[in-house]
Amino acid sequence: MLFMGGDQVEEAVAHAAKVLRPAVGRDWSVKAGGLDWSCLKTAEHIAGDLVAYAGQLTGRATDTWVPFEIAFDEGSGPEDAIHVIESTGGLLAAVVRTTPRGVRGYHPYPHGSADRVGFAAMGVAEVLLHTYDIAQALGVDAEPPAALCEAVLAWLFPHVPPADAPADQWATLLWATGRGSLPGRPKRERWRWHNALEIPAGRLVLREVSAAAAADLAAGGTGGLPWIEGGPFEGTRRAAEMVTKAYASGVHRPEWGMFALVRAEDEVAVGGMGFHGPPDEEGVAEVGYDLVPGARGRGYASEALTSLSTWALTRPEVSTLLAVIEPENAASQAVVARAGYTQTANRENLHAYVRHASA
Report the CATH number at residue 147: 1.20.120.450
Residues 24 and 116 in one domain: yes
- For residues 23 and 167, state if they share a domain: yes
Q: Which residues, other chains included, contact 179 with Cβ-Cβ below 8 Å and sequence gap of 6+?
A: 34, 129, 132, 133
Residue spans of alpha helices (H) in 192-317: 211-218, 234-248, 300-312
90 and 130 housed in the same domain? yes
119: left (phi over 0), alpha (psi -120 to 50) or beta: alpha
If you average pLDDT over residues 3-9, what whole number do you get?
A: 96
71-90 average pLDDT score: 97
155-186 residue pLDDT tens:
999 999 888 887 899 999 999 999 999 988 88
Strand, helix or coil for residue 206: strand
Residues 171 and 202 in one domain: no
Contact between 234 and 293 under an 8 Å Cβ cutoff? The reply is no
Long-range pairs for 184-192: beta carbons < 8 A, 24 or more residues apart: 185/161, 192/109, 192/110
Judge if 112 and 80 occupy the same domain.
yes
154 and 285, same domain (yes or no)? no
Q: Which helix (H) or strand (E) holds 116?
A: helix 116-138
Cβ neighbours, 10 Å, residue 203:
15
User: Is position 190 within any domain?
Assistant: no
Same domain, 157 and 279: no
Query: What pLDDT is stored for residue 163 in this prediction?
Result: 86
Q: What pLDDT sits at residue 80?
A: 98
Residue 87 counted as domain residue: yes
Angle at 250 between CA 247 and CA 251, to 5 degrees: 85
Residues 339 and 223 in one domain: yes
Choose among 110, 187, 198: nearest CA to 156.
110
The CATH number for 308's domain is 3.40.630.30
Average pLDDT estimate for 26-33: 96
Is the residue at 95 inside a domain? yes
Spatial contact of 125 and 117, defined as CB atoms under 8 Å apart: no
Q: Are strands 284-291 and 320-325 parallel, antiparallel or unpaired?
A: parallel
Residues 29 and 167 in one domain: yes
Same domain, 148 and 74: yes
Same domain, 144 and 218: no
Least confident of 34-43, 134-143, 184-193, 233-242: 184-193
pTM over the 0.75 mark: yes
Query: Range of 307's domain?
Result: 198-356
233-257 per-position pLDDT tens digit: 999 999 999 999 999 998 999 999 9
Q: Could you give the CA distance from residue 182 to residue 277 in angstroms, rounded to a whole number?
A: 27
* Judgement on whether residues 129 and 254 belong to the same structural domain of the protein: no
**Would you tell me how many other CB atoms lie within 10 Å of the CB of residue 44?**
20
Count: domains in the chain: 2
**Would you say residue 19 lies in a domain?**
yes
